[in-house]
């Protein structure tokens, strides 16, 4: 141990009303106490929008832990990075770095460390919605009305995930 202390409580955030210590702070905690710790991550599987990572953290005294993390493109646009972060967070939690402040083993809520963003629908998705609407002979105002009923906002305000769902619903109605 390096002799430095780390005050984890300074870095606590609230997620769904519960205390959570982000992985970046767990890493700082680890490096403060054990700068020579070894961290290894491995992309074990990547196919069809699914990424599975394994992370191994080894401490100088011999303690080590392995964490696994998976994510899909449906959950996060940057799902590969999120899966790696999840695996690393779980390995760190298994070694006691943040266990009392995290839900890595509870599987609720869906937190993979970085702030969750809701990226807007892509131009390609908006085009697909308009094409599906044309096949159904829906006007732009009818499309926006359906969109507001389903998602609470207009077509232009859809997120990528919502747009994907809307495309599926329009295609299944055809």
Q: Mean pLDDT score of the chain, rounded to an integer?
A: 83
End position of a domain, from candidates 101, 132, 152? 101
* Residue 32 neighbours by CB distance under 10 Å: 15
Nearest to 84 by CA among 108, 107, 68: 68
Per-residue pLDDT reduced to its tens digit, 91-135: 998 888 875 555 544 444 445 454 445 678 888 888 888 888 898
Per-residue pLDDT reduced to its tens digit, 35-65: 999 999 999 999 999 999 999 999 988 899 9
Rounded CA-CA distance 114/32 in Å is 21
Asked if omega into 109 is within 30° of 0 (cis), the reply is yes
SS3 45: strand
Q: What is the pLDDT of residue 161?
A: 81
Average pLDDT over residues 69-93: 91
Rounded CA-CA distance 148/158 in Å is 10
Beta-ladder partners of 14:
19
Instruction: DSSP letter for 157, please.
Output: G
Domain contains 51: yes
Residue with tokens 């991550």: 41
Domain contains 169: yes
Residue numbers of the domain that contains 65 = 8-101
pLDDT confidence of 70, banded at 50, 70, 90? Answer: very high
Q: For residue 50, what is the domain's CATH number?
A: 3.30.160.20
Rounded CA-CA distance 89/122 in Å is 31
pLDDT greater at residue 121 or residue 88? 88
Beta-ladder partners of 54:
42, 68
| Spatial CB neighbours of 130, under 8 Å, sequence gap ≥ 6 | 143
Instruction: Mark whether 91 and 16 lie in a shared domain.
Output: yes
Beta-ladder partners of 45:
52
Domain contains 117: no
Q: What is the pLDDT of residue 107?
A: 42
Q: What is the pLDDT of residue 109?
A: 45
Rounded to 5°, the CA angle 81-86-91 comes to: 130
Q: Is the pTM of this model over 0.85?
A: no
Number of domains in the chain: 2
């Amino acid at each position: 141990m390096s002799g430095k202390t780390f005050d984890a409580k300074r870095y606590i955030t609230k997620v769904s009303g519960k205390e959570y210590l982000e992985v970046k702070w767990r890493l700082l905690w680890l490096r403060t106490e054990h700068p020579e710790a070894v961290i290894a991550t491995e992309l074990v599987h990547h196919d069809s929008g699914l990424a599975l990572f394994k992370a191994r953290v080894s401490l100088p005294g011999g303690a080590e832990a392995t964490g696994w993390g998976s994510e899909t493109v449906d959950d996060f646009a940057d799902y590969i990075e999120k899966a790696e972060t999840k695996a690393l967070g779980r390995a760190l939690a298994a070694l006691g770095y943040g266990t009392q402040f995290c839900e890595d083993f509870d599987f609720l809520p869906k937190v993979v460390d970085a702030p969750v963003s809701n990226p807007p629908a892509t131009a390609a998705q908006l085009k697909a919605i308009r094409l599906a609407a044309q096949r159904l002979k829906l006007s732009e105002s009818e499309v926006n009305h359906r969109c507001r009923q389903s998602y609470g906002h207009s077509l232009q305000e859809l997120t990528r995930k919502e747009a994907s769902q809307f495309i599926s619903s329009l295609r299944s109605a055809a």
